[in-house]
Structure 1
Amino acid sequence: MMTKIFIVEDHFAQAHSLKLILQKAGYEVCGIEASMDAALEGIMKEKPQLVLLDIFLKGNGTGIDLAGKIKERGIAFVYISANFDSEILAAAKETQPYGFLIKPFRDKDVLVTIEIALFRHQYSLESNYHKIELIHSQLEDAHLADNKEGDLFLRFGRILQPHIPFDFMTISTATPDTDFIIIDSYRRVAFNEYQRIGLQEWLTITGLKQSAFVALQKTLSIPAEPGYFNGESFEQEMASSKMIKTIERCFDVNSLFRIPVFSHVDLPVQVNLFNRRPDVYNKGHLDMIGFLRNALQNFFKKSITSTVGAVANPSTTKINAPSARRNTGSVFPGIIGMSHGLLTVFDNITQVAPFDTSVLILGESGTGKERVAECIQHLSARKGKAFVKVNCAALPPSLVESELFGHEKGAFTGAAEAHIGHFEQAANGTIFLDEIGELPLDVQVKLLRVLQEKEIRRVGGKSTIKVNVRVIAATNRNLEELVTQGSFRLDLYYRLNVFPIQLPPLRERREDIPLLANYFIKKYAEMTGKKIEGLSENALQELMEYNWPGNIRELENLMERCVLRSSGSSITEVNLAVNTLNVKDAVNVAESFFKTIEENEREYILSILKKCNGRVWGKNGAAALLKMPPTTLNSKIKKLGIKREFIG
């Protein structure tokens, strides 16, 4: 059966040209339309596997408007346009397309882009299928082990966490004999570590008396269908429920995913998952819960019955159940920390590690990209197999192809014998391509072919060699900017970007600085034979106030110097002023001379946020004043390191 493709293009000649290219390659073009409304009608009727979508269309609505409606129907789409300036690209990216085609394009560009888009879409479908299958089996197995009171709900949360991430979870129910009540709740404090919030904890955290807390829970309700609430919709939920408002205030959450489960006619259950990020939940999570409806009903039918007696008398509900602790160091060797940003990275690693898909690790220099790649290998089926690290920036331009793919004897002057390249060395294992943005364009073309065909050709070779290698790439550069500049291929970017992992800079995970500093102090104290217990309070304060442009690598180097210079049992001086400017001095210097565009943008956005009392969404929110989508503003807030406590 041929793959069906629908074309949405307002230029007849361009649409006809695309149709010929696709038909010649064996695709079925099931429709061509020039306006949003007509295209949507045709897409709903034909149900294509892929839509080629122009940005600017006839009539009302753009391709970006149509993309949202296509996405809701689970159809892959690729943008085609002659104009991809930064503003349009930002708006288009918000819809999460499967690729871009820039006019004019060659026949080969079209076919490669479509192949990559279909591959990414298929991977997404297969990944979701495997996730659902895994969750089904885990929910069934949850009741087989011996469980103490409350442990089942904790286990339930751990099962969902990698797929529907949360920082706080409540499980509620209501019966004809009792009011609506929360029967269990957990706050995530580290990877796979949770604090149970019992009645006494609730009263302490909220500052309420028990009668007031019980009354507060009555503002919750159990809807008929699951739903998610980000940004403005989350604010609306807070306005309608004082309980949700209280949870937002006490646990610093910004989004909600609601799962009603009707396991008994008279005993409905509701799971509320809250996340600190304002844009984490989406329709994909909703679809997943739809497939899990029966499994969830069976799980709670077995586990909720023993809780009914406790629900009838909430004052006797067991509290202070100890949270199970796991050693994250053994799961993620070499990665230290428990910050929210790092927990998100851990979640991403556990999701992608079991599969052979390509991974793109993004982050500033010194944030630990190589460590993340090692953890992916450690948790994958390729553990124990070859793990080949390649710094693309360090490869001599004239020898890049030979180093990666090898060469035959006599392939060029000086090739006295055959050479096995890094891809062959990584056979059946993983290759880590660090600084992927530094690869020359001609080598990028060959790398794309390797990713597609799973085969290489040595320099000077006459035949291809099949290679079974997983590719993990990393960069500290903005690949999208490199694409717009013409120095990085768009098709390669989308092939690598199947599963991106964004590493937070150290300045966005300051709560991890004490852990990291003490880890490095212990490491270098043991190496030098010194007995150093840690940092003084003043020294630690200096570290916490510094902005860390060199990230973890800079912190490690500083701690090594401090250990070497230390003569006491603790480090009392870190000499940041000698190495570089501290935060306050840096600000003063910047104000005395000049500020970067990023600094000016940060200050301007911060001033607008303060004016709006920190509100991003809604009619009077910062996004409306700045005339940009709220999701774009949230991305900028995160990128610029603006924290809630800085808003005022």
Structure 2
Amino acid sequence: MKEQILIVEDQFVEADYVRLLLEQAGYGITGMARSVDQALELIKEKKPDFVLLDIFLKGKQTGIDLAKVLATDNIPFVFLSANSNEEVLNAAKQTHPYGFLVKPFREKDLLVALEIARYRHAHSMDARYHKETELRKLLKSIVTDAGTWPEKLLRIATALQSFIPFDFLAVGFDNIKDPFFKGRCFLRTGFDEYQEMGLQELATVTGMSGDALMALQAPDAVAEVAAIYKEAAFENICRQPSLRKLFADSFQLRSHLEMPMRMMDRKPFSFCLFSRRPDAYTTEQLELFERIQFSLMQTIEHLLQQEMSEAGKLLQQETKTRFDGIVGKSHLLLNVFDYISQVAPSDTSVLILGESGTGKEKIADCIHNLSARKGKPFVKLNCAALPATLIESELFGHEKGAFTGALEKRIGKFERADKGTLFLDEVGEMPVELQVKLLRVLQEKEIERVGGRDTIKVDVRIIAATNKNLEKEVADGRFRLDLYYRLNVFPITLPPLRDRREDIPALGYHFMNHYSHKAGKKLSGISDNVLRKMMAYNWPGNIRELEHLIERSVLLSKGPVIEEILLPTVTKKQGTEDAQDAAMKTIVENEKDYIISVLKKCNGRIWGPGAAAEILNINPSTLKSKMKKLGIKKEYME
């Protein structure tokens, strides 16, 4: 039975035309509405499987207002609109539609849009079910694993990390005055690497006594329901001295997801997740926790019972997921690892976004190697490296004599990647006419060779990458919106190297070891002067630029240590020092200059919204201490 569809369109002629097209294609029609109110009434009478929705309707409310209601009720919808400018596209995108058709459209465009919407909706439902099932399995397995109470709590934390990421986790800190207090904290320091802290370790790290920590618990009322705190809400809960405020100040945290539970003895036992990102937590994650809350509570109950009777069990090492060739431990890179762990086991299409040189191909390799298709073909095509006339032949292959120069039959990338993965690098460079053919292949899962007549079934997972803003390309008419939606099922954005500077030394040593071994040299290190220059440089070419400069430095080095790196010169700006001069400063001098520049922009304000402490992402009292230590003039102080 075909899906039942509601048409929301204020122009009767257009609505009736769409109705006829859909009925001819075998779809059922639940009704036609001209306004939001009328649509809501029809939905009450009979819930549709899909909604075709015009943006501009009769009445005060628009299709975007109705889309928000549909998203809440989990009813998939596709926008229909004669307006395709960037402003309308951005407003519509915020409602997370399953497709977007620009009027006028052909019958085929409408039917393809519905097929894509069906695919995306089915994927989202399957993904949610898969998440919950996998998490429940993980929680259940932890009960029977060997290990101590802190070790098993860490496994729960690791299991949660792939679904609800965090930088800091406080478990069971509801009653630290209890003599049988079992709470633990976990500070993330790397992928699958955590610093575990009990009450004593937390006191050492924060510089507070155990009694002082206990005194901080009183202001934190015991929560009854799961909640998200971010932006103003997070600032509000951190105004008064409390454990939350202590965690936030000590570990530079900016958002919080609280997951309270009640044990069999009615004692509270919360999972408090914190992130350094202000927008880390979503209602989808909150709902996921609420659905797995009972399984989590059962696991904790079992572990507490085991702790009472089976303390001292031997540690059982867990296998860690490895990301070979990807170097770094910055929180931005760890977020990318979380996304890879989440999407790799499925066959979901992945779109990797990021500037040139950020390592998009490495991420694609990683996703393939961690998937069930590992061992099957992994085929790559750079869409920017071939002329437009050759890409079609490269993708789909050609028959002998299909065009001038086709002297023999050629197997295309899709056929070579059958049962495996196809990586489309720089997909934003693909010609529009070829985008149509690619969309058809993704939809039908079959290809036709150039010059051929037979269709060939293929089973291929697609990973695409681009350094372009595809939404802008869509708005400017250079990239098809329906193909964008098909590829953008699971986007992963890679941070530029300048945003993860803490990874620069590790990357430098990684490339030094690789190229010194390749060149037959015995290098043991990189000088402090070179490291300072590397940290001060902005790296417009990202990791690729760093790799090439280290390779050159290895070849030019005359001793066991890299003493010089030839960074590109930067044009000197008025009122600033040359980039190389800045690189020669000490870390302390650079820190002082940076703090002064921020203070000047804030007119000397340290406290409050938009003030220096907020921009620097440190506690105001910490900033004042740094200013005194660095000898920053008093006129910058409040």
TM-score by length of 2: 0.86
CA contact (8 A) 1:391 1:434 kept: yes
Q: CA deviation at 1:178?
A: 3.8
> 1:133-154 CA deviation, whole Å, 9 max, x = no partner?
1111111110112111311111
1:134 aligns with 2:134: yes
What SS does the aligned partner of 2:449 have?
coil
CA distance in 1: counterparts of 2:91 and 2:237, whole angstroms:
27
Residue number among 354, 361, 364 corresponding to 1:363 in the alignment: 354
CA contact (8 A) 2:327 2:506 kept: yes
Aligned AA (2:353): L
Aligned residue for 2:16? 16
CA contact (8 A) 2:230 2:278 kept: yes
Aligned residue for 1:26? 26
CA contact (8 A) 2:256 2:274 kept: yes
Q: CA deviation at 1:342?
A: 0.7
Q: CA deviation at 1:194?
A: 0.8
CA contact (8 A) 2:421 2:461 kept: yes
Aligned AA (1:558): L
Aligned AA (1:433): L
CA contact (8 A) 2:146 2:315 kept: no
CA contact (8 A) 2:219 2:242 kept: yes
CA distance in 1: counterparts of 2:70 and 2:48, whole angstroms:
10
Residue range with higher mean Cα deviation, 236-245 or 205-214: 236-245
Aligned residue for 1:97? 97
1:500 aligns with 2:491: yes
Aligned AA (1:349): I
Residue number among 562, 566, 572 corresponding to 2:553 in the alignment: 562
> 1:395-441 CA deviation, whole Å, 9 max, x = no partner?
22222211110111111222221111111111211111111111112
Change (3 A) 1:46 1:240: farther
CA distance in 1: counterparts of 2:518 and 2:233, whole angstroms:
54
Residue range with higher mean Cα deviation, 248-257 or 183-192: 248-257
CA contact (8 A) 2:89 2:475 kept: no
Q: Which runs of 5+ in 2 are unaligned?
A: 580-597, 624-638
What SS does the aligned partner of 1:292 have?
helix
Q: CA deviation at 1:387?
A: 1.0
Aligned residue for 1:542? 533
Change (3 A) 1:203 1:344: same
Change (3 A) 1:85 1:157: same
Residue range with higher mean Cα deviation, 172-181 or 205-214: 172-181
CA contact (8 A) 2:257 2:273 kept: yes
What SS does the aligned partner of 1:574 have?
coil
> 1:569-604 CA deviation, whole Å, 9 max, x = no partner?
21222121xx232897997799xxxxxxxxxxxxxx
Aligned AA (1:262): R
Aligned residue for 1:68? 68
1:183 aligns with 2:174: no
Aligned residue for 1:598? none
Change (3 A) 1:543 1:174: closer
Q: CA deviation at 1:109?
A: 2.0
CA distance in 1: counterparts of 2:176 and 2:492, whole angstroms:
47
Aligned residue for 2:236? 236
Aligned AA (1:411): A
Residue range with higher mean Cα deviation, 288-297 or 479-488: 288-297
Aligned AA (1:566): S
Aligned AA (1:380): S
1:528 aligns with 2:519: yes
Q: CA deviation at 1:244?
A: 1.7
Residue range with higher mean Cα deviation, 89-98 or 337-346: 89-98
Change (3 A) 1:194 1:589: closer
Aligned AA (1:348): Y
CA distance in 2: counterparts of 1:65 and 1:181, whole angstroms:
49
CA contact (8 A) 1:194 1:323 kept: no
What SS does the aligned partner of 2:171 have?
strand
Aligned residue for 2:2? 2
1:372 aligns with 2:363: yes
Residue range with higher mean Cα deviation, 513-522 or 83-92: 83-92
Residue range with higher mean Cα deviation, 175-184 or 217-226: 175-184
> 1:29-56 CA deviation, whole Å, 9 max, x = no partner?
3233343344344435433232233333
CA distance in 2: counterparts of 1:266 and 1:392, whole angstroms:
60
> 1:179-226 CA deviation, whole Å, 9 max, x = no partner?
997711101111111111222332233332222210212233333322
Aligned residue for 1:601? none
Residue number among 447, 451, 470 corresponding to 2:438 in the alignment: 447
CA contact (8 A) 1:174 1:180 kept: no
Change (3 A) 1:645 1:100: farther
Kindly tell me the number of residue pairs found equivalent between the two proteins. Answer: 598
CA contact (8 A) 1:367 1:503 kept: yes
Aligned AA (1:342): L
Change (3 A) 1:177 1:525: closer
CA contact (8 A) 1:187 1:195 kept: yes
Change (3 A) 1:371 1:15: same
Residue number among 369, 387, 393 corresponding to 1:396 in the alignment: 387
CA contact (8 A) 1:193 1:326 kept: no
Residue number among 427, 452, 457 corresponding to 1:466 in the alignment: 457
Change (3 A) 1:532 1:228: same
Q: CA deviation at 1:297?
A: 2.1
1:580 aligns with 2:550: no
What SS does the aligned partner of 1:393 have?
coil
CA distance in 1: counterparts of 2:182 and 2:238, whole angstroms:
17
Aligned AA (1:469): V
Equivalent residues in 2 for 1:190-339 (5 A)?
A: 190-239=190-239, 242-305=242-305, 331-339=322-330
What SS does the aligned partner of 2:450 have?
coil
Aligned residue for 1:343? 334
1:158 aligns with 2:158: yes
Q: CA deviation at 1:261?
A: 2.0
Output the aligned Cα RMSD: 3.3
CA contact (8 A) 1:182 1:217 kept: no
Q: CA deviation at 1:264?
A: 1.1
> 1:493-541 CA deviation, whole Å, 9 max, x = no partner?
1101111111111011111000000111111111122222222112111
Residue range with higher mean Cα deviation, 494-503 or 96-105: 96-105
CA contact (8 A) 2:326 2:362 kept: yes
Residue range with higher mean Cα deviation, 199-208 or 433-442: 199-208
CA contact (8 A) 2:399 2:406 kept: yes
Residue number among 396, 399, 406 corresponding to 2:397 in the alignment: 406
Q: Which runs of 5+ in 1 are unaligned?
A: 310-316, 591-605, 623-636
Q: CA deviation at 1:544?
A: 0.7
Aligned AA (2:570): L
CA distance in 1: counterparts of 2:548 and 2:327, whole angstroms:
16
CA contact (8 A) 2:175 2:181 kept: no
> 1:316-374 CA deviation, whole Å, 9 max, x = no partner?
x99xx99989876xx11211111111111111111111111211111111010110110
Change (3 A) 1:54 1:414: same
CA distance in 2: counterparts of 1:223 and 1:191, whole angstroms:
30
Q: CA deviation at 1:449?
A: 1.1
Residue range with higher mean Cα deviation, 7-16 or 132-141: 7-16
> 1:136-174 CA deviation, whole Å, 9 max, x = no partner?
111111011211131111111111111111111111265
CA contact (8 A) 2:68 2:95 kept: yes
